[in-house]
Each structure stands twice: as C-alpha cells, then as structure tokens.
Structure 1
Amino acid sequence: MEITGIISALVVGLIIGALGRLVVPGKQHLPIWLTLVLGIVAAFVGGAIAAIFTTFWLFVLIVQILVAAAGVVLVDGLYSRRR
C-alpha cells in the first residue's frame, strides 16, 4: 500500500467509523474515540478484503462499513460488560 493509500484510509476510516456506528441499531456504550479507531482499522481490513475480490470503489466502501459495524458490535459488547 502506498502512502496516499494509507493517508486516505485514515481519513476515510474516521468517516467509516461514524457510519459503522450509525448502521448498528440501539445505543452503543463506546466512546467516540474508540469508534473512530475501529473505523480506521475497518478501513484497512475492509479495503484488504475487498481488494481481493474487486477494485470497484463502491464495493470496497460497503465492505469497510460492514466491517466497522461488526467491530462496533463486538467491541461494544466487550466494553459494556467491562463497565
């Protein structure tokens, strides 16, 4: 991955985290910083998964949002049990 890809994944990851949180129904107990970190991770993971299958940007975006939503659900479950 080139440096422009990394920088764009960071920027898009912030948006992906917010979208992933919006996709999950109900109230989440995660702080906003953790949601943004999940979005950045989801941007990298979702981009890598989608790159295996296609380079169509809309498919990559959808996969990234789904990965972020799954991350929000998993981490929210762990975070709420911990508190």
Structure 2
Amino acid sequence: MTDREVVMGWFSFIILGLIAGAIAKLILPGRQGGGWIATLLLGLIGALIGGWLAGLIFNIGYDDFWSIQSWLIAIVGAIVVLLIWGFITKSRAKA
C-alpha cells in the first residue's frame, strides 16, 4: 500500500463523515446546539465512533465509500453523537 492510498482512504472517510452528519441533521427533529459546521464535525466524530463500535460489538466495519454498510454505520454514529450533543447543549442552556 502506498502513502497515496492511505491519504485517499482518510479523505474518503472525512467526506463520508461530513455527509453522514448532514444526513443525521436532516433526520433528527428539532434544533441541536451549534450550526451546520458543528453538525458536520460532529458527524465526522460520529462516523469514527460508529465504525469503532460496529467493529467492537458486531465485528463489522467500513467496506468502501459506496457500501451501504459504511453509510449506515456512519449515519447511525452521527445520529447518536448529535443526540448526545443535543442533550449536553440543552442542559447548558437551562443552567
């Protein structure tokens, strides 16, 4: 494997996470704290955590960029992170 392949893999993963964050924002009702940039970054974090948990719990991971499995893992991870972020920012707003 060359360095170029590794960079493209990370680049694809970043794009996947950003798009998953946007899809998660569209799926979740209501307003989460932060704007679109924060949502996209949280989606990237969610894709990372989703992939880690899917590998840990179900022994599955990201196949490739166009795999439905990869998209579902990234979107579910992004939704979970956005929900947690929503609870954190709601409790700060009340305090």
- Regarding TM over 0.5, the answer is yes
Contact 1:16 1:40 in 2 (8 A): yes
**Percent sequence identity over aligned pairs:** 27
Q: Counterpart in 1 of 2:26? A: 22
Q: What is residue 53 of structure 1 aligned with on the other side?
A: 60
Q: Secondary structure at the match of 1:2?
A: helix
- Contact 2:32-2:89 within 8 A present in 1 as well: no
Aligned length: 83
1:6 CA drift (Å): 0.8
Structural RMSD (CA) = 2.3
**Match for residue 37 of structure 1?**
41
Runs of 5+ in structure 1 lacking a partner?
Answer: none
2:7 counterpart of 1:3 = yes
Q: Compute the TM-score of the two structures, normalised by the length of structure 2.
A: 0.71
C-alpha offsets along residues 24-63 of structure 1, whole Å, 9 cap, x if unaligned? 2233333222111111112223334446425371112101
**Compared with structure 1, are the counterparts of its residues 50 and 3 closer, same or farther at alpha carbon in structure 2 (3 Å cutoff)?**
farther
Distance 1:6 1:39, change over 3 A: same
Contact persistence 1:13–1:43 (CA under 8 A): yes
TM-score by length of 1: 0.79
Contact 2:21 2:75 in 1 (8 A): yes
Separation of aligned partners in 1, 2:52 and 2:33: 28
- The one-letter code sitting in structure 1 at the alignment partner of 2:12 is S
